[in-house]
Structure 1
């Protein structure tokens, strides 16, 4: 009799959620139907999962994540202003679409990393130390935010350089074909 043990450093199997034509979501791990709110909780808990169409097996994960964002945005306190959403829409189909997606992704990750560092450091703070820490005069807070701003600026500069190189290549190819 052999037992199936996961390797000590093995990644857990990715959870599969099936979406049926009646729009219900079925969690294959728990063998039960779940709600969009429960899928959101999986995201909040950093649980790896994928959403698949029950008939075609098409990956619907992005669609479900966008649906969660839509519900959050139409709920109480939206994260994006109308102007920000309009600007994001304008990048679709634009030559810089790929750069913008990458830029946003890297900035969100950098912000998430800073937030995680703050959370880790806050575990050892007393309420008095926390109040002092949150004061923007705090050198550590200024350093972390400065680091984020610098990282964001660096990513933007790289994006501009890549766009300039592509423009030069396109113009070179265009002007060379006369």
Structure 2
């Protein structure tokens, strides 16, 4: 058994760091770290615990991590209160093939990371608050969080607009430089 484990570990030496899980054709998931079969719920739990996970096809070695994570999201979306509205999903689909596609992944990732950091800070601060502060906070009636999110969204929109303007200026300058190389004058 130890020989097989060492071979599996060596086979994935070039793979991204993380807990390696093999996916077999029968849809079973095998956790190499614990030498046992696990479920999709177990993979979700590992993700919730911030454990880096890499899922590979048992036969080809192909990285299946993204498809497994998307499967977990799909199950979560179907099971309870979804995070993504139909409008959000439609807009995400529209970005595929668009010039902004490459930018969107990084943009969404940074915003989700910022949200996670805000949540962690809020949780830390709430642990330090005495219970009577929470009762006063609840007495405000109008939750503060929507206002915080609204402000954050507006700042994010402004940053995106500024970035688009900078990109347009850069393209304009590069076009002018290119035209000057050929002795052409840009339309003014």
Task: Provide TM-score, normalisation by structure 2.
Answer: 0.73
Does structure 1 residue 64 correspond to structure 2 residue 92? no
Structure (1/2) with the larger helix percentage: 2
More relative contact order in 1 or in 2 (CA 8 Å, sep 6+)?
1
**1:99–1:159 contact (8 Å) kept in structure 2:** no
Do the aligned partners of 1:16 and 1:49 also contact (CA within 8 Å) in 2?
yes
Q: What's the TM-score, normalizing by structure 1? A: 0.76
Task: In structure 1, list runs of 5 or more residues that go unmatched.
Answer: 1-12
Select 2:112's aligned residue among 87, 100, 108: 108
Match of 1:25 among 4, 26, 29: 29
Contact 1:103 1:156 survives alignment (8 Å): no
Deviation at residue 165 of structure 1 after TM alignment: 4.4
User: 1:13-92 counterparts in 2 under 5 A?
Assistant: 14-92=18-96
RMSD: 3.1
User: C-alpha distance in 2, partners of 1:80/1:59?
Assistant: 26
Match of 1:7 in 2: none
Q: Which has the larger radius of gyration?
A: 2
Gaps of 5+ in 2: 1-16
Q: CA deviation at 1:153?
A: 3.7
